[in-house]
Structure 1
Amino acid sequence: MKLLRDLRPIGLPLSSALPSSLTLAHPARRMRMVATAMLLAMALLFIAARMIGPVHPVVGFIQAFAEAAMVGGLADWFAVTALFRHPLGLPIPHTAIIPRNKDRIGDTLAIFLRDNFLTPAVVARRMGGLDVAAAAGRFLASPSASDGRLRQGASRLVADMMEALDQERLGGMVKGAIAQRLRAINLAPLIGQAIEAAMRDGRHGPVMDGIIHWADKTLEANDHLIRQIVHDRAGKIMRWTGLDENLANAIIDGLRKMLADMADDPGHSLRLKAEEGMQKLASDLQFDIVMQAKVAKVRDEIVDNPAMQRWIDGLWEQGRAGLLRAARDPGAAMAGRLGEALRQLGGTLQSDARLRALINRFVRRTAVGATASYGDAIVTLVSETVRGWDAGTVTSRLENAVGRDLQYIRINGTLVGGLVGVLIHVIDVSF
């Protein structure tokens, strides 16, 4: 019974030393129970052999086996216990090794990660043997042949990550990036080149016809304004004789006849003059810095317009909703035009060696760059996390991870000690 009381401080329940129908949940605790039960069985066997006495030579072998097994089991119990706590609660030197050195363990683990996994040279060497592009090509070309659980799991992960992100912040970043890209576009040369190409191919004719037709309709709808202007500027005599009305009609008829002639005659002088102005506008848009600055100012005003901002907001929401739908249902996403395009991309990745090499190089450089930029931060995170744990947390986590194997050491020590005891007894009785 004294042995049972001595074993309780190491965290073993007293009932674990005795046969029980209760099953412990954790494998390490079950193995601890088995190792302790073996040690107690050796103690009981030793007591029984001493009580029986030398009635038969076999009893001596049994007693030697039990005695040495107790010594081996107790020695290994002490060694295993000393890793995690003070045996029997006594502050024996060089015990409770892990709790006393948890900070050094965290630093050592962080250094191990840095030196063996999170260095650019190691990552580059590891990534050098991976053909990421080919694997992506096989998946895209034959998504049905891929592991459905992997695809569904990855889809759920992507969807959950997108929903977990701060949508206001993420949306602001995306919308800000769209607005920034719009502001970065130099529209003036693009517009000038479009006008120049249209005029070179003769595609500006319908535009000119549309402008002339619009001018004619505008003149017809606002001829009363011309009449009013002429009436207001005419003298009293002209108004009294009605010549102001005749003059207004003559001006309106002349303008309408001029527009009709321009519409019917592609070589009309005014039409040619307008085309000359278009050519100059195209040239200024491409080469005049002042004109380009004016267009850029108009562009920025349009981007800053609330209506344009609302359009960008809608564009982001539609894009995010589409990505979420595709992530939640990858099968439906792969069935449409997007799926066909992705399958073609997968085939191209498998057949084009240069494209694969380019993508693999990009992936490798990205991984190496991320390691160089964030490797030290990850190492620091590991070290500080372990330092932040209390001694009990570190002890319990490590003991749960390796405790089962440590209990096997106790079992093996008990059996090996018993066999050594039998060997010593054989030598003793032989000589």
Structure 2
Amino acid sequence: MRRVATGLLLAMAALFLAARALADQHSAWGFVRAFAEAAMVGGLADWFAVTALFRHPLHLPIPHTAIIPRNKDRIGDQLANFLRENFLIPSVVARRMGRMDVAGAAGRWLANPQGAGGGRLARGTSRLAQEVLNALDQDRLGGMVRAMLVTRVRETELSPMLGRALDAAIAEDRHLPIIDHGVRWARGALAANEHLVRAMVHDRAGSILRWTGLDETLATKIVDGLDRLVAEMAEDRDHPLRQKAEEGLRSLARRLQHDPAMRVRVETMKIELLENPAMQDWINGLWEQARLAMLRAARDPEAVLRGKLGEALRQLGATLQDDARLGRTINRFVRRATVGAAADYGDSIVRLVSETVRGWDAGTITMRLEHAVGKDLQFIRINGTLVGGLVGVLIHTVDVAL
């Protein structure tokens, strides 16, 4: 477009020369000459105006030219203030977010990821995710993930959490399978180690008992009694020993929550476990496993959507569309989170914009703004050339008429 505008100006210069040479042959050439002459003036004037915005015309230090490079810092500040006053004020953000149905949009996309451009969105997101995951420094990021996870676990006191979880499990009878498993384990352990019981009775029995064979009878009675006791515990949920086990679990839950000594013991065990090399190796492997899983999902998102995860996401999408109460809750949460981000980070965003523009050199900001405006700058020159020519014809017409 710059070449078109310049070519049009040169064409007007050529037309002016031709009309001047042929002016004596017909009066119409006077109108052509007036048009071309005024068009050159209009084109040159608008070329000067457009150029003066971004640089010095002909590299001459003419006053009030190169306006944008000279005022780039002020432009950055004004742009930052514009963002702050029109987009990042919490009241403005809240008002605009109030008109957005984020939950509904998310629900429609989850229910039909391939529809309404969702397939293109999924493919674009997939490519972006792959590029990000492949570009990250895996060793450094893995170390950051491990450090963050370990730090979070260190800062979290596990004992009260375990105590409350155990309390909740007992209240809902979810501890019963644990006791049942313990009883079954005890019965299996007794059967597998019956020979040890018999050997213990034999070693501790007197010589008379061994000579008469009563040690074997006594060992059989002990084994049978223990086996019968364990069987009764397995069959009777109200067995006294099971009740004792439940009391022990309730006592453990209370101690985990309220006993300082127990809480210190749990914290000590937690720290020892975190510092164990095997645990550190396991934590290190967590990030790599997660990264590979995310990479597989990113490479083939449709396969993920076809599986159980996809079915769950579609059900979630349907729920978000049908459950108005849930939708209002999610929209309210998103609105509050966005408003909070604007309140907390608005000044930082504004400062980032201002400092970024200030950091650009004059050539960079000139190029970016000129490219952002695009062809319209050259249309100003073209329009100036044509409008100037028409004004020239009008003036020549008035002059001839008078």
Range class of TM-score, shorter chain: 0.7 to 0.9
User: What does 1:243-254 correspond to in 2, within 5 Å?
Assistant: 254=218
- The percent of aligned pairs where both chains have the same amino acid is 52
Specify which of 279, 283, 306 is matched with residue 250 of structure 2: 283
Specify which of 56, 67, 70 is matched with residue 97 of structure 1: 67
C-alpha contact 1:212 1:259 (8 A) present in aligned 2: no
Is 1:207 aligned with 2:207?
no
C-alpha contact 1:189 1:285 (8 A) present in aligned 2: no
CA apart distance, 1:314: 4.1
Flag the 1:428–1:301 CA change in 2: closer, same or farther, 3 A.
Answer: same
The residue type paired with residue 413 of structure 1 is: G
CA apart distance, 1:47: 3.0
The residue type paired with residue 393 of structure 1 is: T
The residue type paired with residue 420 of structure 1 is: V
The residue type paired with residue 142 of structure 2 is: E
Flag the 1:184–1:392 CA change in 2: closer, same or farther, 3 A.
Answer: farther
Flag the 1:382–1:252 CA change in 2: closer, same or farther, 3 A.
Answer: farther
Measure, in 2, the Cα distance between the counterparts of 1:396 and 1:209: 79
Specify which of 391, 394, 398 is matched with residue 423 of structure 1: 394
Flag the 1:311–1:221 CA change in 2: closer, same or farther, 3 A.
Answer: farther
Measure, in 2, the Cα distance between the counterparts of 1:260 and 1:36: 110
- Offset from partner CA, 1:94-122 (integer Å, 9 cap, x none): 11111211111122222222222233223
Specify which of 39, 52, 59 is matched with residue 69 of structure 1: 39
Give the total of aligned pairs: 387
C-alpha contact 1:123 1:368 (8 A) present in aligned 2: yes
CA apart distance, 1:344: 1.1
Measure, in 1, the Cα distance between the counterparts of 2:389 and 2:47: 15
User: What does 1:8-407 correspond to in 2, within 5 Å?
Assistant: 31-147=1-117, 148-166=119-137, 167-172=141-146, 175-176=149-150, 179=153, 183=158, 186-191=161-166, 204=179, 207-208=182-183, 210-211=185-186, 214=189, 217-218=192-193, 220-221=195-196, 254=218, 257-265=221-229, 266=232, 274-275=241-242, 277-288=244-255, 289-290=258-259, 292-293=262-263, 294-295=265-266, 297-298=268-269, 300-407=271-378
C-alpha contact 2:162 2:253 (8 A) present in aligned 1: no
Structure 1 unaligned segments of length 5 or more: list them: 1-30, 232-237
C-alpha contact 2:143 2:284 (8 A) present in aligned 1: no
C-alpha contact 1:71 1:417 (8 A) present in aligned 2: yes
Measure, in 1, the Cα distance between the counterparts of 2:181 and 2:63: 98
SS at match of 1:143: coil
Deviating more after overlay: 45-54 vs 358-367 = 45-54
The residue type paired with residue 42 of structure 2 is: G
CA apart distance, 1:153: 0.9
Measure, in 2, the Cα distance between the counterparts of 1:60 and 1:146: 61
CA apart distance, 1:194: 5.0
Q: Who wins on radius of gyration, i.e. which is larger?
A: 1
Measure, in 1, the Cα distance between the counterparts of 2:375 and 2:199: 101
Deviating more after overlay: 278-287 vs 149-158 = 278-287
The residue type paired with residue 76 of structure 2 is: G
TM score, norm. by length of structure 2 = 0.81
C-alpha contact 1:188 1:296 (8 A) present in aligned 2: no
Measure, in 2, the Cα distance between the counterparts of 1:199 and 1:67: 96
TM score, norm. by length of structure 1 = 0.76
SS at match of 1:56: coil
Measure, in 1, the Cα distance between the counterparts of 2:25 and 2:242: 129
The residue type paired with residue 80 of structure 2 is: A
Measure, in 1, the Cα distance between the counterparts of 2:16 and 2:184: 116
SS at match of 1:94: coil
SS at match of 2:142: helix
Flag the 1:253–1:122 CA change in 2: closer, same or farther, 3 A.
Answer: farther
C-alpha contact 1:127 1:364 (8 A) present in aligned 2: yes
CA apart distance, 1:327: 2.0
C-alpha contact 2:41 2:388 (8 A) present in aligned 1: yes
